[in-house]
Chains A and B, each alone.
Chain A
Amino acid sequence: MKIVALNGLLGYGYSEEALNIAFSEKVDYIGVDAGSTDPGPYYLGSGKSFTDRGAVKRDLSLALPKALEHKAPFIIGTAGGAGSSEHVEWLKEILLEIAKEKNLHFKLGTVLSDVSTEYVLEKFDSGKLIDMSSEFSANKSTIKESARIVSQIGIAPIIELLKKDVDIIVCGRACDTAIYAAPCIYEGYKHGLAFHMAKIMECGAMCSEPVAAADVMQAYMYDDCFELRPANPIRKCTVDRVAAHTLYEQSNPYLIFEPDGVCDLTNSRFEQIDERTVRVSGSVFHEAEEKTLKIEGVRCAGYRTISPATIYDPKTIENFDFITDAVTEFVKENTKKTMSDDSYKIFFKTSGGKESSMGVIIDVVGKTQEIADTVCALVRSRMLHCDYEGRKSTAGNLAFPFSPSDIHVGEVYEFSVFHLAKVDSLMETAEIMIEEV
Protein backbone atom coordinates (compact mmCIF):
# COMPACT_ATOMS: atom_id res chain seq x y z
CA MET A 1 0.00 0.00 0.00
CA LYS A 2 1.27 3.46 -0.89
CA ILE A 3 0.57 6.52 1.21
CA VAL A 4 1.65 10.05 0.34
CA ALA A 5 2.34 13.00 2.63
CA LEU A 6 1.69 16.21 0.72
CA ASN A 7 4.18 18.09 2.90
CA GLY A 8 4.93 18.86 6.54
CA LEU A 9 2.37 21.61 6.91
CA LEU A 10 -0.48 22.58 4.61
CA GLY A 11 0.34 26.01 3.20
CA TYR A 12 4.12 25.63 3.40
CA GLY A 13 4.28 24.61 -0.30
CA TYR A 14 5.78 21.64 -2.19
CA SER A 15 7.16 20.86 -5.62
CA GLU A 16 4.39 20.25 -8.18
CA GLU A 17 6.71 17.94 -10.08
CA ALA A 18 7.21 15.86 -6.93
CA LEU A 19 3.44 15.56 -6.54
CA ASN A 20 3.15 14.40 -10.17
CA ILE A 21 5.87 11.80 -9.59
CA ALA A 22 4.13 10.55 -6.43
CA PHE A 23 0.91 10.11 -8.42
CA SER A 24 2.59 8.50 -11.42
CA GLU A 25 1.92 5.18 -9.69
CA LYS A 26 -1.15 4.08 -7.75
CA VAL A 27 -1.65 6.02 -4.51
CA ASP A 28 -3.94 4.52 -1.87
CA TYR A 29 -4.08 7.37 0.64
CA ILE A 30 -2.82 10.93 0.90
CA GLY A 31 -2.58 13.06 4.00
CA VAL A 32 -1.39 16.41 5.24
CA ASP A 33 -0.97 17.97 8.65
CA ALA A 34 -2.49 21.44 8.70
CA GLY A 35 -1.71 22.64 12.21
CA SER A 36 0.56 22.85 15.23
CA THR A 37 0.75 24.38 18.70
CA ASP A 38 4.28 25.60 17.87
CA PRO A 39 3.24 29.16 17.02
CA GLY A 40 1.72 29.47 20.48
CA PRO A 41 -1.74 29.88 22.00
CA TYR A 42 -2.94 32.92 20.02
CA TYR A 43 -4.30 31.05 17.01
CA LEU A 44 -6.54 28.71 18.96
CA GLY A 45 -7.78 31.68 20.96
CA SER A 46 -8.48 34.00 18.07
CA GLY A 47 -9.90 31.36 15.71
CA LYS A 48 -7.41 32.50 13.07
CA SER A 49 -4.91 30.42 11.12
CA PHE A 50 -1.16 31.01 11.22
CA THR A 51 -0.99 29.69 7.67
CA ASP A 52 -1.86 31.92 4.74
CA ARG A 53 -5.18 31.36 2.95
CA GLY A 54 -3.69 31.75 -0.53
CA ALA A 55 -0.88 29.29 0.21
CA VAL A 56 -3.30 26.75 1.71
CA LYS A 57 -5.53 27.03 -1.35
CA ARG A 58 -2.58 26.50 -3.69
CA ASP A 59 -1.43 23.40 -1.78
CA LEU A 60 -4.92 21.90 -1.77
CA SER A 61 -5.95 22.76 -5.31
CA LEU A 62 -3.13 20.78 -6.94
CA ALA A 63 -3.54 17.74 -4.72
CA LEU A 64 -7.32 17.50 -4.56
CA PRO A 65 -7.96 16.46 -8.21
CA LYS A 66 -5.14 13.88 -7.99
CA ALA A 67 -6.54 12.33 -4.83
CA LEU A 68 -10.03 12.07 -6.36
CA GLU A 69 -8.70 10.65 -9.64
CA HIS A 70 -6.81 7.92 -7.73
CA LYS A 71 -9.75 7.38 -5.37
CA ALA A 72 -7.18 7.92 -2.60
CA PRO A 73 -8.91 9.25 0.51
CA PHE A 74 -7.33 12.59 1.45
CA ILE A 75 -6.95 13.12 5.21
CA ILE A 76 -6.29 16.61 6.55
CA GLY A 77 -5.35 16.91 10.22
CA THR A 78 -5.73 19.94 12.53
CA ALA A 79 -7.50 22.14 10.03
CA GLY A 80 -6.85 25.87 10.05
CA GLY A 81 -3.72 25.58 12.19
CA ALA A 82 -5.38 25.00 15.56
CA GLY A 83 -8.30 22.70 14.78
CA SER A 84 -11.27 24.32 16.52
CA SER A 85 -14.66 24.23 14.75
CA GLU A 86 -13.97 27.75 13.50
CA HIS A 87 -10.67 26.63 11.98
CA VAL A 88 -12.40 23.64 10.38
CA GLU A 89 -14.98 26.00 8.83
CA TRP A 90 -12.17 28.15 7.42
CA LEU A 91 -10.56 25.16 5.72
CA LYS A 92 -13.85 23.75 4.46
CA GLU A 93 -14.65 27.08 2.84
CA ILE A 94 -11.36 26.89 0.90
CA LEU A 95 -12.12 23.29 -0.12
CA LEU A 96 -15.58 24.21 -1.35
CA GLU A 97 -14.18 27.14 -3.29
CA ILE A 98 -11.72 24.83 -5.08
CA ALA A 99 -14.47 22.26 -5.72
CA LYS A 100 -16.61 24.93 -7.35
CA GLU A 101 -13.78 26.35 -9.46
CA LYS A 102 -12.64 22.94 -10.70
CA ASN A 103 -16.10 21.37 -10.78
CA LEU A 104 -15.08 18.58 -8.38
CA HIS A 105 -17.52 16.38 -6.49
CA PHE A 106 -16.74 14.29 -3.44
CA LYS A 107 -17.99 12.84 -0.20
CA LEU A 108 -16.64 15.02 2.58
CA GLY A 109 -16.21 13.76 6.12
CA THR A 110 -15.54 16.12 9.02
CA VAL A 111 -14.44 15.42 12.57
CA LEU A 112 -14.93 18.20 15.08
CA SER A 113 -13.06 17.78 18.34
CA ASP A 114 -14.00 20.84 20.41
CA VAL A 115 -14.82 20.23 24.04
CA SER A 116 -16.74 22.41 26.48
CA THR A 117 -15.42 23.87 29.74
CA GLU A 118 -18.04 21.67 31.47
CA TYR A 119 -16.45 18.58 29.92
CA VAL A 120 -13.00 19.56 31.24
CA LEU A 121 -14.35 20.54 34.67
CA GLU A 122 -16.10 17.20 34.92
CA LYS A 123 -12.79 15.45 34.14
CA PHE A 124 -11.04 17.64 36.71
CA ASP A 125 -13.62 16.94 39.43
CA SER A 126 -13.54 13.20 38.82
CA GLY A 127 -9.73 13.09 38.94
CA LYS A 128 -9.48 12.22 35.26
CA LEU A 129 -7.44 15.25 34.23
CA ILE A 130 -3.72 14.45 34.39
CA ASP A 131 -0.95 17.06 34.53
CA MET A 132 1.72 16.60 31.89
CA SER A 133 4.28 18.94 33.49
CA SER A 134 5.16 19.72 37.09
CA GLU A 135 5.18 23.39 36.09
CA PHE A 136 1.64 23.42 34.73
CA SER A 137 -1.05 22.11 37.05
CA ALA A 138 -4.73 21.95 36.24
CA ASN A 139 -6.60 24.78 37.88
CA LYS A 140 -10.36 25.16 38.08
CA SER A 141 -10.50 28.92 37.63
CA THR A 142 -8.27 28.99 34.53
CA ILE A 143 -10.27 26.09 33.03
CA LYS A 144 -13.42 28.17 33.55
CA GLU A 145 -11.84 31.19 31.84
CA SER A 146 -11.04 29.21 28.69
CA ALA A 147 -12.09 30.82 25.43
CA ARG A 148 -11.69 27.68 23.34
CA ILE A 149 -10.79 24.10 24.17
CA VAL A 150 -10.06 21.26 21.76
CA SER A 151 -9.12 17.62 22.13
CA GLN A 152 -6.45 15.90 20.05
CA ILE A 153 -8.27 13.02 18.41
CA GLY A 154 -6.46 9.81 17.56
CA ILE A 155 -7.12 7.27 14.83
CA ALA A 156 -10.62 6.16 15.91
CA PRO A 157 -12.77 8.94 14.38
CA ILE A 158 -10.77 8.86 11.13
CA ILE A 159 -11.28 5.09 10.83
CA GLU A 160 -15.02 5.61 11.41
CA LEU A 161 -15.11 7.94 8.43
CA LEU A 162 -12.96 5.67 6.23
CA LYS A 163 -15.50 2.90 6.87
CA LYS A 164 -18.15 5.20 5.36
CA ASP A 165 -16.20 5.59 2.11
CA VAL A 166 -15.54 9.29 2.29
CA ASP A 167 -13.16 10.91 -0.22
CA ILE A 168 -11.90 13.78 1.91
CA ILE A 169 -11.59 13.94 5.69
CA VAL A 170 -11.15 17.29 7.42
CA CYS A 171 -10.21 16.91 11.08
CA GLY A 172 -10.31 19.39 13.88
CA ARG A 173 -7.42 19.09 16.35
CA ALA A 174 -5.83 15.71 15.67
CA CYS A 175 -2.65 13.92 16.61
CA ASP A 176 -0.23 14.43 13.72
CA THR A 177 0.32 10.69 13.59
CA ALA A 178 -3.39 9.85 13.33
CA ILE A 179 -3.52 11.24 9.77
CA TYR A 180 -1.20 8.53 8.42
CA ALA A 181 -1.61 5.76 11.00
CA ALA A 182 -5.41 5.61 10.72
CA PRO A 183 -5.58 4.39 7.09
CA CYS A 184 -2.83 1.80 7.69
CA ILE A 185 -4.53 0.40 10.76
CA TYR A 186 -7.87 0.45 8.94
CA GLU A 187 -6.22 -1.63 6.17
CA GLY A 188 -4.91 -4.10 8.75
CA TYR A 189 -1.24 -3.10 9.04
CA LYS A 190 0.50 -3.43 12.38
CA HIS A 191 0.06 -0.56 14.84
CA GLY A 192 3.78 -0.27 15.63
CA LEU A 193 4.78 0.17 12.00
CA ALA A 194 1.81 2.41 11.24
CA PHE A 195 2.55 4.85 14.06
CA HIS A 196 6.29 4.91 13.46
CA MET A 197 5.73 5.58 9.74
CA ALA A 198 3.17 8.26 10.62
CA LYS A 199 5.52 10.00 13.05
CA ILE A 200 8.07 10.39 10.26
CA MET A 201 5.60 11.22 7.46
CA GLU A 202 3.78 13.98 9.32
CA CYS A 203 6.78 16.27 8.74
CA GLY A 204 6.79 15.74 4.97
CA ALA A 205 10.29 15.50 3.51
CA MET A 206 11.97 16.50 6.81
CA CYS A 207 13.46 12.98 6.99
CA SER A 208 15.28 13.41 3.67
CA GLU A 209 18.35 15.21 2.33
CA PRO A 210 18.29 18.05 1.51
CA VAL A 211 15.86 18.45 4.37
CA ALA A 212 12.48 20.10 3.64
CA ALA A 213 9.18 20.29 5.47
CA ALA A 214 7.88 21.79 2.25
CA ASP A 215 7.88 18.73 -0.01
CA VAL A 216 6.15 15.46 -0.83
CA MET A 217 7.04 12.23 1.01
CA GLN A 218 6.01 8.66 0.21
CA ALA A 219 5.66 5.55 2.36
CA TYR A 220 5.12 1.97 1.24
CA MET A 221 3.54 -0.29 3.85
CA TYR A 222 4.24 -4.01 4.09
CA ASP A 223 3.31 -6.66 6.63
CA ASP A 224 6.63 -6.54 8.48
CA CYS A 225 8.20 -3.21 7.47
CA PHE A 226 7.67 0.10 5.73
CA GLU A 227 9.80 1.97 3.24
CA LEU A 228 10.27 5.69 2.84
CA ARG A 229 11.30 7.47 -0.33
CA PRO A 230 10.93 11.18 -1.08
CA ALA A 231 8.95 11.92 -4.25
CA ASN A 232 11.26 14.69 -5.37
CA PRO A 233 14.27 13.16 -7.23
CA ILE A 234 16.61 15.80 -5.77
CA ARG A 235 16.07 14.30 -2.29
CA LYS A 236 16.99 11.00 -0.70
CA CYS A 237 16.20 9.26 2.55
CA THR A 238 19.18 8.13 4.58
CA VAL A 239 19.27 5.86 7.62
CA ASP A 240 20.66 8.70 9.75
CA ARG A 241 17.96 11.16 8.75
CA VAL A 242 15.13 8.70 9.21
CA ALA A 243 16.44 7.40 12.54
CA ALA A 244 17.18 10.92 13.80
CA HIS A 245 13.67 12.07 13.00
CA THR A 246 12.19 10.61 16.17
CA LEU A 247 14.43 12.95 18.16
CA TYR A 248 12.72 15.99 16.71
CA GLU A 249 10.20 17.75 18.99
CA GLN A 250 9.83 14.57 21.02
CA SER A 251 10.68 14.20 24.68
CA ASN A 252 11.78 10.58 24.23
CA PRO A 253 13.29 9.18 21.01
CA TYR A 254 12.25 5.61 21.77
CA LEU A 255 8.63 6.14 22.70
CA ILE A 256 5.82 7.85 20.81
CA PHE A 257 2.81 8.40 23.05
CA GLU A 258 -0.60 8.04 21.41
CA PRO A 259 -4.17 8.11 22.72
CA ASP A 260 -4.35 4.33 22.12
CA GLY A 261 -1.02 3.45 23.69
CA VAL A 262 2.67 3.82 23.06
CA CYS A 263 4.75 3.07 19.99
CA ASP A 264 8.08 1.55 21.04
CA LEU A 265 11.11 2.05 18.81
CA THR A 266 13.66 0.34 21.08
CA ASN A 267 14.13 -2.50 18.59
CA SER A 268 13.53 -0.58 15.38
CA ARG A 269 15.88 -1.38 12.50
CA PHE A 270 16.78 1.01 9.70
CA GLU A 271 18.23 -0.22 6.40
CA GLN A 272 19.33 1.65 3.29
CA ILE A 273 17.83 -0.44 0.47
CA ASP A 274 18.77 1.82 -2.40
CA GLU A 275 20.27 5.27 -2.76
CA ARG A 276 17.02 7.07 -1.91
CA THR A 277 15.02 4.54 0.10
CA VAL A 278 15.12 3.47 3.73
CA ARG A 279 13.35 0.39 5.15
CA VAL A 280 12.17 0.41 8.77
CA SER A 281 11.11 -2.63 10.77
CA GLY A 282 10.88 -3.83 14.36
CA SER A 283 8.74 -1.00 15.80
CA VAL A 284 6.04 -2.33 18.11
CA PHE A 285 2.97 -0.98 19.83
CA HIS A 286 1.82 -1.47 23.42
CA GLU A 287 -1.85 -0.75 23.89
CA ALA A 288 -2.60 1.39 26.93
CA GLU A 289 -4.94 0.02 29.56
CA GLU A 290 -6.32 3.47 30.13
CA LYS A 291 -6.94 5.57 27.04
CA THR A 292 -6.26 9.30 27.14
CA LEU A 293 -6.86 12.33 24.96
CA LYS A 294 -4.76 15.46 25.10
CA ILE A 295 -6.84 18.54 25.87
CA GLU A 296 -5.67 22.00 24.78
CA GLY A 297 -7.40 25.18 25.90
CA VAL A 298 -6.60 28.88 25.92
CA ARG A 299 -7.83 31.88 27.86
CA CYS A 300 -7.66 35.56 27.01
CA ALA A 301 -4.99 37.07 29.29
CA GLY A 302 -5.63 40.68 28.27
CA TYR A 303 -4.61 43.08 25.55
CA ARG A 304 -1.08 43.97 24.56
CA THR A 305 0.71 47.16 23.53
CA ILE A 306 4.45 47.10 22.84
CA SER A 307 7.16 49.61 22.11
CA PRO A 308 10.48 48.36 20.72
CA ALA A 309 13.65 50.41 21.19
CA THR A 310 17.43 50.17 21.38
CA ILE A 311 19.90 51.52 23.93
CA TYR A 312 23.43 52.20 22.67
CA ASP A 313 24.86 54.15 25.62
CA PRO A 314 26.83 51.74 27.87
CA LYS A 315 26.13 53.95 30.89
CA THR A 316 22.37 53.67 30.27
CA ILE A 317 22.68 49.90 29.86
CA GLU A 318 24.60 49.75 33.14
CA ASN A 319 21.72 51.57 34.86
CA PHE A 320 19.00 49.52 33.16
CA ASP A 321 17.66 47.89 36.33
CA PHE A 322 17.59 51.22 38.15
CA ILE A 323 15.67 52.79 35.24
CA THR A 324 13.09 50.02 34.95
CA ASP A 325 12.45 50.06 38.72
CA ALA A 326 12.01 53.83 38.69
CA VAL A 327 9.71 53.64 35.65
CA THR A 328 7.56 50.92 37.20
CA GLU A 329 7.22 52.94 40.42
CA PHE A 330 6.35 56.07 38.42
CA VAL A 331 3.59 54.27 36.50
CA LYS A 332 2.15 52.88 39.73
CA GLU A 333 2.04 56.33 41.29
CA ASN A 334 0.57 57.99 38.20
CA THR A 335 -2.22 55.49 37.69
CA LYS A 336 -3.22 54.82 41.29
CA LYS A 337 -6.43 56.85 40.97
CA THR A 338 -7.40 55.54 37.54
CA MET A 339 -6.53 51.83 37.52
CA SER A 340 -5.75 49.03 39.94
CA ASP A 341 -2.27 47.48 40.18
CA ASP A 342 -3.49 44.17 38.88
CA SER A 343 -5.11 45.62 35.77
CA TYR A 344 -1.80 45.61 33.89
CA LYS A 345 1.55 43.85 33.74
CA ILE A 346 4.79 45.40 32.50
CA PHE A 347 7.59 43.31 30.98
CA PHE A 348 10.92 44.55 29.66
CA LYS A 349 12.01 42.01 27.06
CA THR A 350 15.67 42.56 26.38
CA SER A 351 18.41 41.18 24.21
CA GLY A 352 22.15 41.82 24.14
CA GLY A 353 23.31 44.54 26.49
CA LYS A 354 26.77 43.57 27.59
CA GLU A 355 28.69 44.68 24.52
CA SER A 356 27.57 47.29 22.07
CA SER A 357 23.82 47.67 22.44
CA MET A 358 20.71 46.41 24.13
CA GLY A 359 17.39 45.78 22.46
CA VAL A 360 14.37 46.27 24.67
CA ILE A 361 10.72 45.69 24.00
CA ILE A 362 8.44 47.43 26.45
CA ASP A 363 5.64 44.89 26.70
CA VAL A 364 2.44 45.82 28.52
CA VAL A 365 -0.55 43.54 28.91
CA GLY A 366 -3.64 45.23 30.31
CA LYS A 367 -7.16 44.17 31.15
CA THR A 368 -8.34 46.38 28.29
CA GLN A 369 -6.57 47.75 25.22
CA GLU A 370 -7.01 51.24 26.65
CA ILE A 371 -5.17 50.33 29.86
CA ALA A 372 -2.35 48.69 27.89
CA ASP A 373 -2.05 51.78 25.66
CA THR A 374 -1.97 54.17 28.62
CA VAL A 375 0.57 52.18 30.61
CA CYS A 376 2.82 51.53 27.62
CA ALA A 377 2.84 55.24 26.73
CA LEU A 378 3.74 56.14 30.33
CA VAL A 379 6.52 53.56 30.51
CA ARG A 380 7.90 54.58 27.12
CA SER A 381 7.97 58.34 27.83
CA ARG A 382 9.29 57.92 31.36
CA MET A 383 11.95 55.47 30.29
CA LEU A 384 13.07 57.78 27.47
CA HIS A 385 13.77 60.61 29.91
CA CYS A 386 14.56 58.76 33.15
CA ASP A 387 17.55 60.28 34.92
CA TYR A 388 20.26 58.21 36.59
CA GLU A 389 23.51 58.95 38.37
CA GLY A 390 26.32 60.06 36.10
CA ARG A 391 24.05 60.51 33.07
CA LYS A 392 25.61 62.55 30.25
CA SER A 393 23.20 61.71 27.42
CA THR A 394 20.42 63.83 28.85
CA ALA A 395 18.43 64.11 25.61
CA GLY A 396 17.02 60.59 25.78
CA ASN A 397 17.73 56.96 26.73
CA LEU A 398 16.01 55.12 23.90
CA ALA A 399 16.46 54.92 20.12
CA PHE A 400 13.02 54.24 18.58
CA PRO A 401 13.09 52.61 15.16
CA PHE A 402 9.47 53.51 14.39
CA SER A 403 6.97 56.33 14.46
CA PRO A 404 4.46 55.65 15.91
CA SER A 405 6.61 54.09 18.60
CA ASP A 406 3.81 52.08 20.22
CA ILE A 407 2.19 49.11 18.54
CA HIS A 408 -1.23 47.70 19.39
CA VAL A 409 -0.91 43.93 19.36
CA GLY A 410 -4.49 43.27 20.50
CA GLU A 411 -5.82 40.31 22.43
CA VAL A 412 -3.33 37.99 24.14
CA TYR A 413 -4.00 34.33 24.84
CA GLU A 414 -2.29 31.90 27.18
CA PHE A 415 -2.71 28.16 27.47
CA SER A 416 -5.24 27.48 30.21
CA VAL A 417 -5.45 23.72 29.74
CA PHE A 418 -2.77 21.38 28.43
CA HIS A 419 -3.51 18.09 30.06
CA LEU A 420 -4.41 14.49 29.42
CA ALA A 421 -7.98 13.39 30.02
CA LYS A 422 -8.75 9.78 30.84
CA VAL A 423 -11.58 8.72 28.56
CA ASP A 424 -14.04 5.85 28.39
CA SER A 425 -14.01 5.97 24.62
CA LEU A 426 -11.61 7.57 22.15
CA MET A 427 -14.72 8.73 20.27
CA GLU A 428 -16.19 10.65 23.19
CA THR A 429 -15.04 14.09 22.03
CA ALA A 430 -15.47 13.52 18.30
CA GLU A 431 -18.41 14.83 16.33
CA ILE A 432 -18.59 13.26 12.88
CA MET A 433 -20.42 14.64 9.86
CA ILE A 434 -20.66 13.55 6.23
CA GLU A 435 -21.83 15.66 3.31
CA GLU A 436 -21.87 15.44 -0.47
CA VAL A 437 -20.05 18.21 -2.29
Chain B
Amino acid sequence: MKKLIDYTKILRSKNAGPLFITFDLIFNTKEDMEYVEQRLKKSDISRAYGVSEEKIDIISYGVVNSIKITFPRKNISGSLADNDIYGCQQHIPLANIII
Protein backbone atom coordinates (compact mmCIF):
# COMPACT_ATOMS: atom_id res chain seq x y z
CA MET B 1 0.00 0.00 0.00
CA LYS B 2 1.45 3.30 -1.09
CA LYS B 3 0.33 6.76 -0.17
CA LEU B 4 -0.60 9.27 -2.87
CA ILE B 5 2.48 11.38 -2.08
CA ASP B 6 4.75 8.43 -2.91
CA TYR B 7 3.67 8.57 -6.56
CA THR B 8 4.25 12.30 -7.02
CA LYS B 9 7.20 14.56 -7.84
CA ILE B 10 5.34 17.61 -6.51
CA LEU B 11 2.28 17.68 -4.28
CA ARG B 12 1.20 21.13 -3.11
CA SER B 13 -1.80 23.13 -1.95
CA LYS B 14 -2.46 26.83 -2.45
CA ASN B 15 -5.34 29.28 -2.57
CA ALA B 16 -6.89 29.79 -5.98
CA GLY B 17 -8.16 33.14 -4.75
CA PRO B 18 -9.37 33.41 -1.13
CA LEU B 19 -12.47 31.27 -1.70
CA PHE B 20 -10.90 28.13 -3.19
CA ILE B 21 -8.14 25.71 -2.35
CA THR B 22 -6.32 23.98 -5.18
CA PHE B 23 -3.93 21.02 -5.15
CA ASP B 24 -1.33 20.28 -7.81
CA LEU B 25 -0.10 16.72 -8.18
CA ILE B 26 2.80 16.52 -10.61
CA PHE B 27 4.16 13.09 -11.59
CA ASN B 28 7.49 11.95 -13.01
CA THR B 29 5.85 9.85 -15.69
CA LYS B 30 2.64 9.65 -17.65
CA GLU B 31 2.20 6.09 -16.30
CA ASP B 32 2.26 7.29 -12.68
CA MET B 33 -0.23 10.01 -13.51
CA GLU B 34 -2.61 7.59 -15.20
CA TYR B 35 -2.24 5.02 -12.44
CA VAL B 36 -3.30 7.56 -9.83
CA GLU B 37 -5.92 9.13 -12.11
CA GLN B 38 -7.70 5.78 -12.36
CA ARG B 39 -7.60 5.04 -8.63
CA LEU B 40 -8.01 8.37 -6.83
CA LYS B 41 -11.64 8.62 -5.76
CA LYS B 42 -13.63 11.74 -4.97
CA SER B 43 -15.04 9.89 -1.98
CA ASP B 44 -11.53 9.65 -0.46
CA ILE B 45 -10.94 13.36 -0.91
CA SER B 46 -14.40 14.08 0.45
CA ARG B 47 -13.62 12.08 3.61
CA ALA B 48 -10.14 13.56 4.05
CA TYR B 49 -11.39 17.16 3.94
CA GLY B 50 -15.03 16.94 4.95
CA VAL B 51 -16.17 18.44 1.67
CA SER B 52 -19.03 17.02 -0.37
CA GLU B 53 -18.12 15.16 -3.55
CA GLU B 54 -20.07 17.37 -5.93
CA LYS B 55 -17.96 20.36 -4.91
CA ILE B 56 -14.69 18.66 -5.85
CA ASP B 57 -13.22 19.25 -9.30
CA ILE B 58 -10.51 16.94 -10.62
CA ILE B 59 -8.82 17.92 -13.87
CA SER B 60 -5.96 16.06 -15.53
CA TYR B 61 -3.35 18.21 -17.26
CA GLY B 62 -1.34 15.75 -19.33
CA VAL B 63 0.98 18.41 -20.78
CA VAL B 64 3.06 18.20 -17.59
CA ASN B 65 1.82 14.84 -16.19
CA SER B 66 -0.32 16.46 -13.55
CA ILE B 67 -3.68 16.32 -11.85
CA LYS B 68 -5.39 19.34 -10.34
CA ILE B 69 -7.95 19.14 -7.55
CA THR B 70 -9.98 22.19 -6.51
CA PHE B 71 -12.79 22.74 -4.02
CA PRO B 72 -14.23 25.69 -2.09
CA ARG B 73 -12.71 26.58 1.27
CA LYS B 74 -15.14 26.20 4.17
CA ASN B 75 -13.30 28.90 6.11
CA ILE B 76 -12.34 31.39 3.45
CA SER B 77 -8.89 32.96 3.63
CA GLY B 78 -8.60 35.41 6.52
CA SER B 79 -11.94 34.56 8.10
CA LEU B 80 -11.82 34.42 11.89
CA ALA B 81 -11.63 30.64 12.07
CA ASP B 82 -9.06 30.29 9.26
CA ASN B 83 -5.70 28.75 10.13
CA ASP B 84 -3.85 29.00 6.84
CA ILE B 85 -4.19 32.32 5.01
CA TYR B 86 -2.20 31.23 1.91
CA GLY B 87 -3.59 27.69 1.99
CA CYS B 88 -0.15 26.25 1.32
CA GLN B 89 -0.15 23.70 4.19
CA GLN B 90 -3.40 21.88 3.42
CA HIS B 91 -1.97 19.05 1.34
CA ILE B 92 -1.22 16.45 4.03
CA PRO B 93 -4.64 14.75 4.23
CA LEU B 94 -4.48 14.36 0.43
CA ALA B 95 -0.87 13.16 0.54
CA ASN B 96 -1.84 10.42 2.98
CA ILE B 97 -4.66 8.92 0.90
CA ILE B 98 -3.87 5.28 0.16
CA ILE B 99 -3.81 4.49 -3.56
Contact = CB atoms under 8 A, between A and B. Distances in A.
A132 B66 contact: no
A389 interface: no
A347 B77 CA distance: 16
A412 B66 contact: no
B76 A135 contact: yes
B17 interface: yes
B72 A134 contact: yes
Contacts, number: 94
A96 B78 CA distance: 33
B73 A247 contact: no
A415 B17 contact: no
Interface in B40-99: 55, 57, 59, 61, 63-64, 66, 68, 70, 72-74, 76-81, 83, 85-86
Interface string A317-350: 0000000000000000000000000000101010
Interface stretch (A8-16, A17-25, A248-256, A398-406): A248-256
A249 B16 contact: yes
Interface residues of B, number: 31
A40 interface: yes
A426 to B, nearest CB: 20
Contact of A418 (B16, B19, B80, B86): B19
B63 A251 contact: no
Contacts of A135: 19, 72-74, 76
A250 B61 CA distance: 12
Contact of A252 (B15, B66, B70, B83): B70
Contacts of A244: 26, 64, 66
Interface of A: 37-42, 132-136, 240, 243-244, 247-254, 268, 270, 301, 345, 347, 349, 365, 412-415, 418
Given A37-B18, A244-B66, A252-B57, 7 more contacts: A132-B17, A133-B72, A249-B16, A252-B68, A253-B68, A270-B63, A414-B78
